[in-house]
Amino acid sequence: MTATQQQGRDEVTSNGGEPRRIDMPMLGIEVRRRQVEMPHVSMPSVPMPHISKQEFGHYVDVARTVLPPPERVAYYGALGAMAVFGVIEWPVAAAIGVGMAVMQRRRQGASKTERKSETTARAQPQEPPERPEPKTRGAAAAQRAAAEAASKRKSK
């Protein structure tokens, strides 16, 4: 470098109002901070509703009745993730999910009818109630024969 050429100097200011300037022998750079004026917007005050513990408990109970159990939620989540990442196509994932839901509902319906039949069987007395004696001898003999046949079927 010769004595007539100026060496680069750096003017840096501490406040954001003045530009940054870098002078070099063949190039000068000036960087200015952009001034952006943002409008002041006041946020309205929105009152939040208060939910008591009883109401919250009620909402949790409703969600438990509507949502499937956690293991099925995890199954459906994994099925959805596989569809999202392309492991399986989404129509196949939808068909599998619907099939599982139908199967679970059918299984739950069958277990409910079994429980219902068990409770009605427990509620019914084990022995049939005694019937009044028929007025004719032929009817009485037929009734005794039917009672004997029923007792033989129970003993088997």
Work out how many domains the chain is built from and give that number: 1
**pTM of this prediction exceeds 0.85:** no
Q: Is residue 96 part of a domain?
A: yes
Q: Is residue 25 part of a domain?
A: no
Region 100-126: what's the mean pLDDT? 71
Q: Is residue 116 part of a domain?
A: yes
Q: Distance between CA 23 and CA 129 in Å, rounded?
A: 115
Q: Is residue 150 part of a domain?
A: no
Q: Is residue 87 part of a domain?
A: yes
HSE-up of residue 117 (Cα within 13 Å, Cβ side): 5
Q: Is residue 153 part of a domain?
A: no
Owning domain of residue 97: 73-122
Q: Is residue 131 part of a domain?
A: no
SS3 9: strand
Q: What is the pLDDT of residue 114?
A: 67
Task: Give the model confidence (pLDDT) of 116-156 as tens digits.
Answer: 666 665 655 555 556 555 556 666 677 777 778 777 776 65
Q: Is residue 97 part of a domain?
A: yes
Q: Of 4, 6, 32, which is closest to residue 17 (Cα–Cα)?
A: 32
Task: Give the model confidence (pLDDT) of 55-101 as tens digits.
Answer: 999 999 998 888 888 888 899 999 999 999 999 999 999 999 999 98
